[in-house]
Amino acid sequence: MAIFKPPKAIRGGIPICFPQFSNHGPLEQHGFARNRFWSIDSDPPPFPTNSSNKAFIDLILKPSEEDMKIWPHSFEFRLRVTLGPGGDLMLTSRIRNTNLDGKPFTFTFAYHTYFSVSDISEVRVEGLETLDYLDNLQNKERFTEQGDAITFESEVDKIYLSTPTKIAILDHEKKRTFVIRKDGLPDAVVWNPWDKKAKAMADFGDDEYKHMLCVEAAAVEKPITLKPGEEWRGRQELSAVPSSYCSGQLDPQRVLQGS
Ligand code: TA6
């Protein structure tokens, strides 16, 4: 039930949270980047590319005068979106401080990725077990995850800290595993609004929480600071691989350790 009309962010896909994840200070929730029209970047600075990845587009976002009023920093945010030969989706963000006043700036970031799943009760997330997390549902208090893979039976809104570069989402019913590979993004946010919050959101169907899960490669706990002229990179790669976890044909650990 996403609303495709500015100024609200479109719910779904991969909203890009910049220059802040979350909602403190004068900035809107998750920053303004996800609410702006980007331009095609026809002349991006050189990029080390994998020659087999020919299908890509370069986008750029620069702040408007209005943006500068709420976040008084000049930046160039370049985003390369690449579709790999096997259907993998790569997103590479390059953010450069172009302030002329000599001032550094600090930001937090997330690829707020919405995954489609067949039944949230049958989904497991592998790669985050035993890690520390900040629980958004308990005033961002810090806890340590116990036990095995993460499963879902109620609302979840957690920021896992210092996570591995690979995380897997196993969709038992669909026999499909999403693998997230990330670089420059130490944290991982896991969110499902469950029934009550789903009902409260105008752009979200009452039952849609059963068929989605957000797992978000992010840099939240330790904000990133760039001096003028400095650039930061954050990369996320998504692939979907067939899995038959229950029959044991594909061990999720091997998905995580593999290629
Ligand atoms: O990433 C989780 C989260 O920050 C939740 O707290 C939840 O509010 C969600 O994002 C959606 O935020 P949005 O602004 O897109 O409604």
Take atom 14 of ligand 1 and give the residue whose Cα is closest: 29
Catalytic residues: 112, 216
Residue 245 predicted with pLDDT over 80: no
pLDDT of res. 85:
87
Closest CA to 171 of 119, 129, 127: 119
Per-residue pLDDT at 247 exceeds 50: no
> Which has the closest alpha carbon to 191: 136, 235, 144, 118?
136
Query: Is 80 exceeded by the pLDDT of residue 146?
Result: yes
Pocket test for ligand 1, best of 32, 112, 199 (most atoms within 8 A of CB): 112
Average pLDDT over residues 55-84: 96
> Does position 38 have pLDDT exceeding 80, yes or no?
yes
Say what the pLDDT of residue 252 is: 53
Structural domains of the chain, with CATH: 16-258 (2.70.98.10)
Distance CA 190, CA 182 (A): 15
| 167: nearest Cα among 203, 200, 206, 123 | 123
| Whole-number pLDDT of residue 98 | 98
3-state helix, strand, coil in the chain (%, to 5): 10, 40, 45
pLDDT of 39 reads: 98
Residue 258 — pLDDT band, cuts 50, 70, 90?
A: low
Backbone φ and ψ for 67, nearest 5 degrees, come out as -60, -40
Coil, helix or strand at residue 140: coil
HEC-encoded secondary structure of 142-163: EEECCCCCECCCCCEEEEECCC
pLDDT (0 to 100) of residue 250: 45
Q: Whose CA is nearest to atom 10 of ligand 1?
A: 191
Buried b (16+ CB within 10 A) or exposed e, 182-194: bebbbbbbbbbbb
Encode pLDDT of 182-196 as tens digits: 999 999 999 999 999
256 vs 94, higher pLDDT: 94
**Average pLDDT over the chain, rounded to an integer:** 92
| Band of pLDDT at residue 8, cut at 50, 70 and 90 | confident
Contact assessment for residue 151 and residue 123, using Cβ atoms and an 8 Å cutoff: yes
The alpha-helical segments, DSSP class H, found in 5-163 are 65-70
3-state DSSP assignment of residue 253: helix
Q: How far, CA to CA in Å, does 75 sit from each of 18, 58, 97, 110, 193? A: 11, 16, 5, 17, 33
Q: What pLDDT score was predicted for residue 54?
A: 79
The verdict on the CB of residue 116 being under 6 Å from ligand 1 is no
Considering only 45-49, 79-83, 99-103, which range has the smallest mean pLDDT? 45-49
Task: Tell me the C-alpha distance between 254 and 140, whole Å.
Answer: 32
Q: Which atom of ligand 1 is nearest to the CA of 112?
A: 1
| Residues in contact with 213: Cβ distance below 8 Å, sequence separation at least 6, in sequence order | 114, 115, 117, 120, 123, 125, 152, 169, 190, 191, 192
pTM of the model: 0.93
Residue 257: the pLDDT is 59
Q: What pLDDT does 246 receive? A: 44
Q: What is residue 113's DSSP assignment? A: P
Per-residue pLDDT at 117 exceeds 80:
yes
Q: Which of 26-30, 107-111, 160-164 has the lowest mean pLDDT?
A: 26-30
Higher pLDDT, 200 or 253: 200
Reduced to 3 states, what is the DSSP secondary structure of residue 130? coil
pLDDT at 46: 85
Other CB atoms within 10 A of residue 77 CB: 23
Q: What is the DSSP letter of 165?
A: S
191 CB near ligand 1 (under 6 Å): yes
